[in-house]
Structure 1
Amino acid sequence: MPGGLGDRAGLYRFRGRTGQTQRAGQSKPGANLKNIPGILGEIVEKRLVRIEEAKKNCSFEEVRTAAEHARRPLSLQRAIGARSGVSLIAEMKRSSPSAGPLDPDLDPANRAVLYRDAGATAISVLTEQDYFSGSIDDLVAVSEAARRSRVPVLRKDFIVDPYQVYEARAAGADCILLIIAILESENYADLFTISTSMGMDVLVEVFDESELESAMQIDPRVIGVNNRNLKTLKTSLTEFEELAAKIPPDRIRVAESGMKTAADVERMGHAGANAVLVGESLMKAGGDLGALVASMAAVEVG
């Protein structure tokens, strides 16, 4: 329910405090994580370090309290379900391991307004610092800008610790991404339960049939198929096409990564996508950004 921490997303009432740590057992990053190879493993390892740094500035208890008093989250499921066509989740990020620098001077609030006005159903914000140059500040700025038009905001990150879930909610996120490739079943279930207990939707990301089977153990409603192999960073739209038919038809199916044009979005729609998540091509669009977003957001699949 709405609370007194609303306008600046709660968490930032606590900024600047140091030396505060959570009580033992409240938040245990890495306890259930897989041995993850390649660049994905490097990202997760660095993320664990950053989480511990964050806890020293704002304790687990403070972040959880801020999350519990944040405004009621918007529903990603409802926003996607309200559209007759393929919904666009428009993403922003300053850089990525696969593309390098994209927009170091990104203004998140202005970009959110552009996405909203061009027809995006939801907005995704990369908050990982070391490989994507993101931040929680970006999430706060976007959440405030998008909230006025009731556009749901997704925190996209490598979420492995309950602290990150509470942090997302406190910063105004309406939903989060959970990546099956980096989570053991117990870890996944805990993070999912915490998120949904606060009314947040969860986009559960898979890459192959084995990961889909793991994801379905706790009955998620929104399932994303990443067309990019996070271990090799190679992208192919056939990943969604091959896996979509194995996702139960009553779930929201999201195609992630690799789409560059409205024709690509239409292709994913014909393969069964209710929504697409597009980032890199939007960040590279330059002066054609508004037109590209509008064309992708307008896709109808008969």
Structure 2
Amino acid sequence: MNDRKTQLEEQARQLRISIVKALHKSQSGHTGGSLSAIDMVTALYFYKMRHNPAEPTWQGRDRFVLSKGHAAPALYAALSEAGYFPKEDMMTLRRLGSHLQGHPDSKGTPGVDVCTGSLGQGLSMANGMALGLKADGKDNRVYAILGDGELQEGQVWEAAMAAAHYKLDNLCAMVDANNLQIDGEVSRVMNVAPITDKFRAFGWHVLDIDGHDMGAIMAALDTAETVKGQPTVIVARTVKGKGVSFFENKASYHGVPPSDEELPRALECLGSFCE
């Protein structure tokens, strides 16, 4: 387990480097939320989820919904590392004609299950997938990552209510709780706390973890698989811009890519270098 944890931590570091380089190249995109979510994305794609890069539409795969679709660079980094498309495609992020758009596009990008980006809708889509799989008698699981600012959307709570009502124990939501959104602190813009108590009141099994502790993420995903009769939510306490000290905990880097001057400094923080 410790060897696996160490391997995943190194993969997450490499994916952070890929994210930073791609965002710098595009000079467009969302830095903070991509870096805060990447540990969760890494654990999903390289530890927990069943998927097959050689057959992206394999019916036996688990499904993934990046409800906070603006963090697409994190998803693309994982998909490229897994082999869904060449790693060099990361450098085409957000370019005209690229299959790596600013938000996930299931019609253009191998490995993307659903188009996302309109905040608040991802959990509803994950519900539909989970319901469909249950109706078909399949044991596939559905995972969804939401932002904590996204919880300000009322549709999230309608979906939360429905998931508990239909006992979607094949559904696991993960909340990237970094307490920052584009306008500042989530607690100031529109407080969504207490997140754990709210999901518990809606009938969910709730796990509250450090979202950058790979061992804790792995253990939470393992536990979620054992829960029966109700959906599970993992509330992951994260740091926006995690891994690059001068990005961390700054709302100003919500949708701002690294500048030419910042790129080598960011890569130094991540133990890499500027090519």
TM-score range relative to shorter protein: 0.3 to 0.5
Instruction: Compute the TM-score of the two structures, normalised by the length of structure 2.
Output: 0.34
